[in-house]
A = this chain, B = another copy of it.
Amino acid sequence: MDSEQFKNFLFRTNILDASYPVRGAHVWLPYGFQFKKLVFNKLETMMTDAGYKQHEFPRLMPGSSLRKIAATVKDFSQNVFWLKDGNKDTDIFLNPTGESGIYPMLRQWIKISSDLPIRLFQVGNTFRSHHRPYPLINSDESTPLLEGHGVFRTRQEVINEFDAVLKILEDMHNTLVIPYRMVTRLQWGNNPVSEKNISFESYFPPKNVNLNIGVAYLQDQIFSRIFDIKFESEGSATEHTHQLTFGINERALAAMLAIHSDNYGLRLLPEFAPIQVVLIPKPKLHEDYGIEKYTKKIIEKIRARVYIDKNKNRTVKQKISHWRERGVPLLLIIEPNDVQNQTISASTRTQNIWQTVSADDIEQTVLKYFSEVEKQIREDAEFFLEEKTKAAKSRDELVNLVGQNYIVKFSYCGSTECGINLERDSVGEILGIGVKEKEHGKCIGCGNESAVVGYFSRRAQSP
Q: Contact between B60 and A108 (Cβ–Cβ < 8 Å)?
A: no
CB proximity to B under 8 Å, residues A67-125: 77-87, 89-90, 92, 94, 101, 104-105, 108, 120, 124-125
The one of B17, B34, B58, B87 that contacts A20, using a Cβ cutoff of 8 Å: B58
Which residues in B have their C-beta under 8 angstroms from that of A25? 58, 60
Q: Contact between A86 and B80 (Cβ–Cβ < 8 Å)?
A: yes
Would you give the shortest CB distance from A55 to chain B, in whole angstroms?
6
Which residues in B have their C-beta under 8 angstroms from that of A86? 77-80, 82, 129
The one of B33, B59, B85, B129 that contacts A54, using a Cβ cutoff of 8 Å: B33
Q: Contact between B59 and A141 (Cβ–Cβ < 8 Å)?
A: yes
A19 within 8 A of B: yes
A56 within 8 A of B: yes
Which residues in B have their C-beta under 8 angstroms from that of A124? 125
Q: Contact between B28 and A62 (Cβ–Cβ < 8 Å)?
A: no
When chains A and B are docked, how far (Å) is the Cα of A277 from the Cα of B127? Answer: 40
Would you give the shortest CB distance from A27 to chain B, in whole angstroms?
5
The residue on B at minimum CB distance from A20 is B58
Which residues in B have their C-beta under 8 angstroms from that of A104? 20-21
Q: Contact between B79 and A54 (Cβ–Cβ < 8 Å)?
A: no
Which residues in B have their C-beta under 8 angstroms from that of A307? none
The residue on B at minimum CB distance from A52 is B30
Q: Contact between A22 and B92 (Cβ–Cβ < 8 Å)?
A: yes
Which residues in B have their C-beta under 8 angstroms from that of A17? 105, 108
When chains A and B are docked, how far (Å) is the Cα of A57 from the Cα of B19? Answer: 12
Q: Contact between A20 and B105 (Cβ–Cβ < 8 Å)?
A: yes
The residue on B at minimum CB distance from A94 is B83
Q: Contact between A27 and B84 (Cβ–Cβ < 8 Å)?
A: no
A143 within 8 A of B: yes
Q: Contact between B125 and A59 (Cβ–Cβ < 8 Å)?
A: yes
Which residues in B have their C-beta under 8 angstroms from that of A81? 83-85, 90, 92
Q: Contact between A78 and B82 (Cβ–Cβ < 8 Å)?
A: no
Q: Contact between B57 and A59 (Cβ–Cβ < 8 Å)?
A: no
Known: A17-B105, A141-B60. A55 touches B33 (CB 8 A): yes
Of the candidates A17, A84, A87, the one having the most CB atoms from chain B within 10 angstroms of its own CB is A84
Which residues in B have their C-beta under 8 angstroms from that of A271? none
CB proximity to B under 8 Å, residues A31-65: 33-34, 36-37, 53-62, 64-65
Q: Contact between A30 and B58 (Cβ–Cβ < 8 Å)?
A: no
Number of copies of chain A assembled together? 2
When chains A and B are docked, how far (Å) is the Cα of A79 from the Cα of B82? Answer: 16
When chains A and B are docked, how far (Å) is the Cα of A172 from the Cα of B160? Answer: 46
A140 within 8 A of B: yes
Which residues in B have their C-beta under 8 angstroms from that of A120? 30
A324 within 8 A of B: no
A26 within 8 A of B: yes
A357 within 8 A of B: no
When chains A and B are docked, how far (Å) is the Cα of A380 from the Cα of B80? Answer: 48
Which residues in B have their C-beta under 8 angstroms from that of A362? none
Which residues in B have their C-beta under 8 angstroms from that of A89? 84
A29 within 8 A of B: yes
The one of B29, B78, B84 that contacts A55, using a Cβ cutoff of 8 Å: B29
When chains A and B are docked, how far (Å) is the Cα of A37 from the Cα of B36? Answer: 16
Would you give the shortest CB distance from A305 to chain B, in whole angstroms?
13
When chains A and B are docked, how far (Å) is the Cα of A420 from the Cα of B59? Answer: 39
Which residues in B have their C-beta under 8 angstroms from that of A29? 55
Q: Contact between A26 and B58 (Cβ–Cβ < 8 Å)?
A: yes
When chains A and B are docked, how far (Å) is the Cα of A19 from the Cα of B59? Answer: 15
17 contacts between A and B (CB under 8 A): A20-B57, A22-B61, A22-B101, A25-B58, A27-B56, A27-B57, A27-B58, A27-B101, A28-B55, A28-B56, A36-B56, A58-B141, A81-B83, A82-B87, A83-B84, A84-B89, A86-B129
Give 20 new A-B contacts, CB below 8 A, not counting A21-B104, A58-B143: A19-B108, A21-B62, A21-B64, A22-B60, A22-B62, A22-B101, A24-B60, A25-B58, A27-B57, A28-B55, A30-B54, A30-B120, A34-B54, A36-B56, A37-B54, A59-B127, A60-B140, A78-B86, A83-B84, A125-B125
